Structure 1
Amino acid sequence: MNLSDLRIFVSAARRPSLGAAALEMHLTPSAVSKALKRLEDSLGTPLFDRSAKQLVLNTSGQLLLDRAATLLALADQARSDIMGEKATLDCRLGGPAILLWRQGKVLAGALRDYPQASLRMLAMFEEEALAALARGDIDAALVTGEVLDGRGEHWSPEWQATPLGSVTLHLVAGRSHPLVAQLSNGDDGLLHASSAEVLQHDFACPSRSLFCGAQRGSRSDGWRDDALPRKIRYWSDDLQLLLGFVKSGDALAYLPEFALEDQELLRIQVDDCAFECREQVALVWNRNQAGGWLQRLAQILESNVN
């Protein structure tokens, strides 16, 4: 049994067809089929039920799949630890797009010492990211404290949660928004408005949580519409499209503070708003299978917490 064939087996076991596995592994279907046959010959038993039109794992195949992620992870860990900064790394990080946006620059900086490394940031909601981590499809997941508190069905006692601080949401407007021209800066350098002034204007909002993906309607961005009901004119679950409505001056939005790094956006402090939405953030990774580079990455991310 060799590692290359084992990787192909894992792909074939999780994909609907040989063709899909071949596409993922950048091989021909014939090469995938031969790799599976070599693996079965080395183990002395079939791994798939070939009576159906699609490959279906049998009992032996399922047993191997359950062990394969650990075997491959340990092999990758050993190789990267031995080679150090010369290692060819494929860092796969999954999580909500809004959290990947937040951590992107720090992640890129943390991997500069590894010139042969590549960084894959895969947008997926939190539970999907934890499921991918459990399968071995990603190396680490970005999640919020709400998910950590609930743990969920995919949680493993082998996982480590590295705290990455919190995300606070603020009311944000584009520089060309008509409300901006009406407001003046306070001593704190912020634009100040009353809720009555703010609620005269249209909002843009996702229809589902940008973190967990749950359909929450007007509650999806954390704004308390029960206390301060808004007129939501624009709905978009695409973060960039939502930002477009804000930058154009067509709408206000309730967004994380790091959105304000964009020079086209301004924060508006609502003086009589009694609530604040804040989410704790963490990096989740398998401490038993992590190579030195991933442990170092977690340390760098944690040290960058304000």
Structure 2
Amino acid sequence: MSRSIEISEVGMRDGLQIERSFVPTETKIALIDALSKTGLKKIEITGFVHPKVIPQLADAEAVSTGITRVPGIRYGAFIPNARGAERAIKVGIDDLKVGVAVSDSFNRLNVRMTTEQGMTAIDEIAAVAKGTSGRLVGAIATAFGCPYEGPVSRERMHRMVAQLLGHDAPIIYLADTTGVANPERIRRTVEDLQKAFPEAVLGLHLHNTRGIGIANALAGLDCGIRHFEGSIGGLGGCPFAPRAVGNICTEDFVHMAHEMGIETGIDLDALIDVARMAQDALNRPLPGMVMKSGKASELHAMDAERVKVD
């Protein structure tokens, strides 16, 4: 198991995209600036998608130009097509997250393209990014199964990994987009790709749909995965997934890692503060537990008030 891991925070994109009420641009900027002070080295701040498809991300340019950038942090965004890449590069996005679902059904719902069309779009995005400071970061959605089609094509997933490697993607995240994975399925899929593509750096993007998101992350750790994505407070849920639930909670995962002696480079207390800030901003309880229960290392007086947390 890796004794150090790297976490990319995706709450400001994958987390907020499903919110029913528009989160003000200044709130997003304040949250991103707070995240930039926690020790995170990668923050996905928005997506350059059509505002009619995902209205929450209609302010992509304003967010990208409004944040205070911290040296050493890579700021990323989801990019569905060449036009999105042009917009992102114009405002200085570092990491262009390109993703396609192995499942045709899900890809049609998510980005209005078949999987094959989505793979062509990645080639077009790569052509736009060539020679710029932006780099492609890969994501393969429904990598562990699809709620509309069931098991997904191993051959197609291998083609997608090969394509992303051909565009020099430094990391390829395998996404359990709708939370159908389990630890054994994580292990089988990761080990298959590690054997077929030993040069690939794989990461995991996990949702907690059925309450086993962190168990799936632990299975990835056992396989040597050291790149993970999480969402502050457990925010999120894909708008095109049935009964969507948020990503694994960043601060809960960091807490587990620290308790296990795994380094993250993240100030957990600062991260918990941001989670509470996000909860206050959205004016509703978020799924994250550590911000409610506190760290396991905290000691309490025997006469301290005992309360139930939800």
| TM-score normalized by the length of structure 2 | 0.27
Structure number with greater Rg is 1
Question: Going by fraction, where is strand more abundant, 1 or 2?
Answer: 1
| TM-score normalized by the length of structure 1 | 0.27
